[in-house]
Amino acid sequence: MNEPEVVMIGLGYIGLPTAALIAQNKTYVHGVDINPSVVETINKGQIHIIEPELDGAVANAVKEGYLRAATTPVKANIYLIVVPTPFKAKNEPDISFVEAATKAILPLLKEDDLYIIESTSPIGTTEKMADMIYETRPELKDKLNIAYCPERVLPGNVMYELVHNDRVIGGVNERSTERAVSFYSQFIKGDLHKTNARTAEMCKLVENSSRDVQIAFANELSLICDKADINVWELINLANKHPRVNILQPGCGVGGHCIAVDPYFIVADYPMESKIIGTAREINNYKSFWCAEKVQTTKLQFELQHGRKPNIALMGLAFKPNIDDLRESPAKYIAQKVLQNANNEEYFIVEPNISEHRVFKLTDYRDALEKADIIVFLVAHNEFKTVEIPKHKVVLDFCGVIK
Ligand code: SAJ
């Protein structure tokens, strides 16, 4: 392979698709991941994550020699940091991976290089990294281009959205913004919106916080409606007939690796001001706990009424409908909690999008529906929407499958 133009640090859910996209554009990309087995898989032209159309893109990019992976970076002209930013105990963001990635490329940087962070980051991270770089390499002071450019792709539709979504690009100065815009414009068809680094950082956090707050509103309504004996789905549908009202759907909590995490990045730094954002997190977390409690009380009521233990079907484990991704899934959390309280009832765990699981013994959804006395819908998978449920069965519909 020729000298790479781009070094991509982090070959996960965003880094790998982005690396493949850049490579498709006939730009040489050197991908870096700390995990040697990830590196090995990619260099074979294979992938370690599940995302439609990514396999073909990576296979091609590797075959044509535009993408290769390694555990260490090499010299290039553009460095992209796309590593995880998890949070520590007390919900404080942990930027140590961004720091480590930046340190790894520090000796390689040269005048006029472009350094971009894509990782979701607390406000001020890009400026902090710029300071760190210039402290170690003072001869490069203000001679690098440093920018922040978050992604906003939806898992399951990454390859399309990477190209077509608008992007927000914020440099530490105008020249950096312009350089980053000119880089992304080579492979992105969406509009590229210029701003500064801090605004771009906050923009990413705000997008996901906004969705979290809106879902919290729907989840709060679902709790009120449960007490008030009102069908929340009908209520939201009717309220949404107002031309300026658009309420989202309640569910069994908020999962995934973004919406349930990013709001904490704001709350941790601005605890006094982030009242709604912090409360939304609490409401959405509480909703999962409430669902598990509801299963428990329904189970006990059944036993009192029928003088026997019920069979219980838990329908869905993924973090949202029609995907096989179980990470940070509220449905999985509820299933675990319900099973912890098991007392000789029979449970049928259903997840039609995966064939097996190392903890849960999975049952086909049709068998589970047939055998269960209590049917708990946790995720609104398409398969569940068309099923006929006999009137005598108890249904707990937490996600609006049976509207
Ligand atoms: N959910 C509800 N009710 C709704 C919509 C969603 O309970 O009406 C739940 C889902 O079931 C799921 C969670 O919210 O548990 C998150 O799902 P999602 O589809 O809203 O979002 P993600 O996490 O798959 O992807 C989000 C997207 N952000 C926004 O829509 C603002 C995506 O564009 C971001 O790129 C992604 O986070 C990210 O990586 O930050």
Active-site residue identified among 149, 204, 252, 399: 204
pLDDT of residue 90: 76
Whether 320 lines ligand 1, by a CB cut-off of 6 Å, is yes
Q: Are 184 and 167 in contact (CB under 8 A)?
A: yes
pLDDT of residue 87: 84
Confidence of residue 1 (pLDDT cuts 50, 70, 90): low
Two tokens, residue 169: 């690009």
User: Distance from the CA of 320 to the center of ligand 1, in angstroms?
Assistant: 8
Confidence of residue 88 (pLDDT cuts 50, 70, 90): confident
Position 250 in a domain: yes
Same domain, 374 and 240: yes
Same domain, 178 and 297: no
Q: Hey, what amino acid is at 243?
A: P
Q: Hey, what amino acid is at 306?
A: H
pLDDT of residue 243: 98
Whether 256 lines ligand 1, by a CB cut-off of 6 Å, is yes
pLDDT, one tens digit per residue, over 239-288 is 999 999 999 999 999 999 899 999 999 999 999 999 999 999 999 999 99
Catalytic annotation present for 203? no
Confidence of residue 111 (pLDDT cuts 50, 70, 90): very high
Confidence of residue 74 (pLDDT cuts 50, 70, 90): very high
Same domain, 82 and 33: yes
Residue among 14, 211, 281, 333 whose CB has most ligand 1 atoms within 8 A, to mutate: 211
Average pLDDT over every residue of 109-136: 98
Same domain, 263 and 313: yes
pLDDT, one tens digit per residue, over 367-377 is 999 999 999 99
Asked if residue 135 has pLDDT above 90, the reply is: yes
Whether 249 lines ligand 1, by a CB cut-off of 6 Å, is yes
Position 215 in a domain: no
Of 190, 221, 249, the position where a domain reaches its end is 190
> Whole-number mean pLDDT of the chain?
96
Average pLDDT over every residue of 186-190: 97
Same domain, 137 and 241: no
Same domain, 324 and 372: yes
Q: What is the CA radius of gyration of the chain?
A: 24
Asked if residue 164 has pLDDT above 90, the reply is: yes
Of 190, 205, 240, the position where a domain reaches its end is 190
Same domain, 181 and 280: no
Position 36 in a domain: yes
Q: Whose CA is nearest to atom 39 of ligand 1?
A: 258
Position 70 in a domain: yes
Whether 280 lines ligand 1, by a CB cut-off of 6 Å, is no
Position 244 in a domain: yes
pLDDT of residue 78: 98
Q: Domain containing 350: what range?
A: 229-397
Whether 208 lines ligand 1, by a CB cut-off of 6 Å, is yes
Whether 215 lines ligand 1, by a CB cut-off of 6 Å, is yes
Q: How many domains does the chain have?
A: 2
Same domain, 81 and 159: yes
Q: Are 311 and 348 in contact (CB under 8 A)?
A: yes
Q: Are 8 and 115 in contact (CB under 8 A)?
A: no
Of 190, 216, 240, the position where a domain reaches its end is 190
Same domain, 273 and 378: yes
**127: CATH:** 3.40.50.720
DSSP per-residue codes, 128-194: HHHHHHHHH-GGGTTTSEEEE----PPTTSHHHHHHHS-EEEEESSHHHHHHHHHHHTTT--S-EEE
Two tokens, residue 76: 């290039």
Long-range contacts of 274-282 (CB under 8 A, 24+ apart): 276/213, 277/209, 277/212, 277/213, 279/216, 280/209, 280/212, 280/213, 280/215, 280/216, 280/217, 281/212, 281/216
Same domain, 238 and 346: yes
Same domain, 233 and 373: yes
Average pLDDT over every residue of 295-302: 98
Catalytic annotation present for 204? yes
Q: Which atom of ligand 1 is nearest to the CA of 251?
A: 7
Position 252 in a domain: yes
Position 402 in a domain: no
Same domain, 255 and 389: yes
Average pLDDT over every residue of 80-97: 90
Position 247 in a domain: yes
Average pLDDT over every residue of 317-344: 94
Confidence of residue 89 (pLDDT cuts 50, 70, 90): confident
Q: Are 45 and 58 in contact (CB under 8 A)?
A: yes
